[in-house]
Structure 1
């Protein structure tokens, strides 16, 4: 298997977490925020949702792709038992702790903001992603180890041949299009705790592993044809926006989603495949920030929304508050208090605690 480290994947998962924070904060300023359990601003910013609709069809599938890629790199150093033990420690422990102690916090803040009786309600919340990732690791590990040991077999040779063609890569969209045609989800972008989200995530997770296994064939194609994929995605988004009032048929949204993702991989490969101290720090921070960002976001909304400020300034202030507090908690608490480190997916040995991909976002957990 290739020993080349993909710094662009590390950068992309860090960027994906940043987009996740902004996306969740944008929900606060939508009229329907309370229907999905978010604190709601009395002054909406509905125009803010237009760019979010461009993002929401591919942001979660993209994270699953990156998560599958992370498992490929993990297999360079681990057998099946080591992989499951490592993923159990890095995923299930934070998931259990988050279920009991982290996810309930933002609902307590929600209750306080609306003067509701305070109650403790353990739940998975935004950490549903972790459970999906671990399930995929368990279900797909036999296939992954089979492919790992047959990199020069006929199947992988055929994969490389297909991925070497720009339209061949688009064939990856076909199972996604079949999935939405069969399941007919009412809302394509509703991934959390749905069979649609589980299956689309598993497809992306498997293909992420497969694409990286194919090596240069995949990377050269997305690099060469990145503008084609982005252009196609923009056309499909324009059709979704102008013709279907943002509710395109599921098969078109599945195709659009993958076009965005392939374009993003291409531009990432072009401009982001380089290491650095900032990347090492941000990669290590990404997983803990993902885990804690929701209750920090809610705290920021509770403090900032009542202020006499222009609504756009409130949005900017909540973004700044969430980023600053999340990184302050990571820097001064989570990475420094030894017993907390494993609860937030960090390695206990700081010298080995690089980004390690514990975040094939939010948790595919890379290498």
Structure 2
């Protein structure tokens, strides 16, 4: 199987966008986060809102594509052993070693945790409940914060592996063909219908929590786009159709997004919105999300499917950067926000510091240290096999 450079590049870019998104969470007005700057921007809400609608859907879509490539010609047992090693080990290590700086900084800023990181860790590792609202996840005593993605991905990967016998049946093949056989307008609209159904039926009762157990609306959305990616991965005809539809998909995404945004701003703050209006907003939102994903896939296939010189490095670095970035961002903000150094210098230093920290720790330490590599989701050997379709996430 030929390596799909566009998927490698798109994965790296998607997680790079995630780093930028988390940096912006410091500054967007009305959106809570672990640490907040005093230099808040209401103007950030619009681009953040539109990005937030599809950023994680894109990551799970890419993960589904990567999973299909990884499962190709691999026994299910071997595949699951590899996935357990590369998902659960970094998750456990991240929860214990990388993430704790985030609840510490958040708890100190909230005035609930006393300064002193060693003392904090001594209590944190007992997993005892903390005072109310000490930090996100205080009820459980500890948190996985941004690493929730690894737990969700592990569950979806396990479920997809368990579904393989059913998908190999005639009924399963027909179900996959129903998706991979979509063309034209049907491809741009019909896959959005399940997402709309989940929004209408599940979202009012199960708002997003990232706690794995009660997150049924987000599970439905994320596993569906994960399954879309799995079906899409090896369908050359569907990739060709996405390539052909990339311009109409982009135009439809921009149009639906503009109307959706206009309605959201129009009814922002209204305590009650009519059922018809609410359904219209939900419909526009889900069509916007799916057409955006189609546009991204089509344009990346057209522009990124080539062996860029930076791609082998990015493919290997993306997993450690993902694990490290939010802890670095929160720590730098914890140090810099009280200094009030200005609305330009502060985000610049936090952003540059996050990137430099990820680069130094990854390229200077993690990839060069054999025992650290698996803790950050990397293969045990030093040089990544750029011929395999294995992906960190």
TM over 0.5: yes
Post-superposition Cα deviations, 1:273-308, rounded to whole Å, max 9, x if no partner, equal: 011331110111111111111110012212332345
Closer, same or farther in 2 for the Cα pair 1:352/1:244, shift >3 Å?
A: closer
Determine if the alignment matches structure 1 residue 332 to structure 2 residue 374. Answer: no
Distance 1:296 1:96, change over 3 A: same
Aligned to 2:127: none
Match of 2:55 among 53, 59, 67: 59
Cα 1:266–1:135, aligned 2, differ >3 Å: closer, same or farther?
A: same
Cα distance change of structure 1 residues 222 and 187 upon mapping to structure 2, 3 Å threshold: farther
Q: How far apart are 1:145 and its partner, in Å?
A: 5.8
Report deviation, 1:176: 0.9
Q: 1:167 offset after TM fit, Å?
A: 2.2
SS in 2 for 1:135: helix
Task: Give unpaired runs (5+ residues) of structure 1.
Answer: none
Q: Which residue of structure 2 aligns with residue 171 of structure 1?
A: 190
* TM superposition score normalised by structure 2: 0.82
Partner of 1:192: 210
CA-CA distance at 1:99 after TM superposition: 1.7
Partner of 2:222: 201
SS at match of 2:100: helix
The question of 1:212 aligning with 2:230 is answered no
How is 1:35-74 mapped onto 2 (pairs within 5 angstroms)? 35-36=32-33, 38-74=34-70
CA distance in 1, matches of 2:373, 2:385: 10
Q: 1:114 offset after TM fit, Å?
A: 5.4
The corresponding residue for 1:348 is 380
Cα deviation digits, residues 247-289 of structure 1 (max 9, x gap):
7633332221111111011110110001133111011111111
* 1:45 and 1:311 in contact (8 A); partners too: no
Q: Going by fraction, where is helix more abundant, 1 or 2? A: 1
1:145-160 to structure 2, matched below 5 A, reads 147=167, 154-160=174-180
Using the TM superposition, give the Cα deviation of residue 186 of structure 1 relative to its aligned residue in structure 2, in angstroms. Answer: 7.5
Say whether 1:260 aligns with 2:292: yes
| Pairs aligned (count) | 353
Higher Rg of the two aligned structures? 2
Equivalent position of 2:114 in the other structure: 117
1:116-135 equivalent positions in 2, closer than 5 A: 116-118=113-115, 119-120=120-121, 121=124, 122-135=142-155
Structure 1 pair 356/99, CA: closer, same or farther in 2 (3 Å)?
A: farther
Give the deviation of 1:155 after TM superposition. 4.9
RMSD of aligned residue pairs (Cα, Å):
2.6
Displacement of 1:310 after TM fit? 3.2
Aligned equivalents of 2:298 and 2:375: distance in 1? Answer: 34
- Contact 2:250/2:292 (<8 A) preserved: yes
- Secondary structure of the equivalent of 1:244? helix
Q: Partner residue of 2:13?
A: 15
